[in-house]
Structure 1
Amino acid sequence: MAGFDIKELKRRMDGAVASLHAGLSGLRTGRASASLLEPVTVEAYGSNMPITQVATISVPEPRMISVSVWDKSMVGKVERAIRDSNLGLNPITDGTTLRVPIPELNEERRKELVKVAHQYAEQARVAVRHVRRDGMDTLKKLEKDGEMSQDDSRQMSDRVQKMTDETISELDKTLAEKESEIMQV
């Protein structure tokens, strides 16, 4: 169809799925993982930056994450960002290095992680719905401008809706798998 690229919409929806996978991979079930801190943003130099742009993250042992802050003046801000991240972590400052012990997963902690997983999934669903809306708006405009027939527009709208439903169901399935992984003792 002239001016309408369903492959581009699919690519954007797949991007939302990929970002959910990335976010959930950080929710480790009781084991330290460098990706656990990837969603954390730090107020640095007048803007919010991913923690990976102000520090090096490593995992020296299974229940400990080490965060080496490059700029000494940023240590306090990085520590605060980790504490405020809703990941339930309490970093210990040691010079320019923060040691972040990973707590044992008790029932309460598991439920917190599930809530965070649900937040990630909801963000991904919202992103998919935005892509759907963009696609539908484009179709309406093409139809209104006479660049697409009403039948073609309706047919493409149905395809966009079907693609949206499939993507949301994939997101829900991913969330359910992660939830059962987190709750598994």
Structure 2
Amino acid sequence: MVSAVRESDLKVNPVIDGSVIRVPIPTLTEERRKEFVKIVSGKVEETKGAMRNIRQDAMKDVEKEFTDKKIGEDEKFSQKEEVEEVVKDFISRVDELGESKKSDIMKI
């Protein structure tokens, strides 16, 4: 467990104290805060990319149902609009959460 923590990107050094493992957490420096902001930004972009892939899959499913004649043209457009709205809503939520978290990280 100690070696796993040491090898992680956490930049902490656990200390074995008898049967207890202590992990001293240093105070956040400006540089470390900026690193965390970059990590958050990366996760936000990663999440948005995953959502775009989900949207693409959903659009393909709607198109397949239309070509298989399971739904009509009106239903196809209505489902595509609904998928677009839902994905747009979640992407804006992710953006808001990301900005909020970045703001929290940069507060001293």
Work out which of the residue numbers 135, 141, 144 in structure 1 matches 2:64.
Answer: 141
Query: 2:57 corresponds to which letter in structure 1?
Result: D
Query: 1:161 corresponds to which letter in structure 2?
Result: E
Pairs within 5 Å for 1:31-70: none
Structure 1: gaps spanning 5 or more residues: 1-77
Two-structure CA RMSD over aligned residues (Å): 1.9
How far apart in 2 are the matches of 1:96 and 1:149? Answer: 67
Query: 1:99 corresponds to which letter in structure 2?
Result: R
Normalising by structure 1, report the TM-score.
0.52
Structure having the higher Rg: 2
Structure 2: gaps spanning 5 or more residues: none
Work out which of the residue numbers 107, 126, 133 in structure 1 matches 2:30.
Answer: 107
Contact 1:87 1:113 in 2 (8 A): no
Note closer, same or farther for the CA distance 1:104–1:122 as it changes in structure 2 (3 Å cut): same
Q: Which has the higher strand share?
A: 1
Give 1:157's aligned residue.
80
Runs of 4+ residues over 6 Å off in structure 1: none
How far apart in 2 are the matches of 1:107 and 1:88? Answer: 15
Give 1:176's aligned residue.
99
Deviation at 1:95, TM superposition (A): 5.3
Q: Deviations over 1:63-107 (max 9, x none)?
A: xxxxxxxxxxxxxxx333323432332222345643111111110
Q: Which has the higher helix share?
A: 2
Normalising by structure 2, report the TM-score.
0.84
Deviation at 1:117, TM superposition (A): 1.6
Q: Deviations over 1:17-64 (max 9, x none)?
A: xxxxxxxxxxxxxxxxxxxxxxxxxxxxxxxxxxxxxxxxxxxxxxxx
Q: Secondary structure at the match of 2:23?
A: strand
Note closer, same or farther for the CA distance 1:85–1:114 as it changes in structure 2 (3 Å cut): farther
Give 1:167's aligned residue.
90
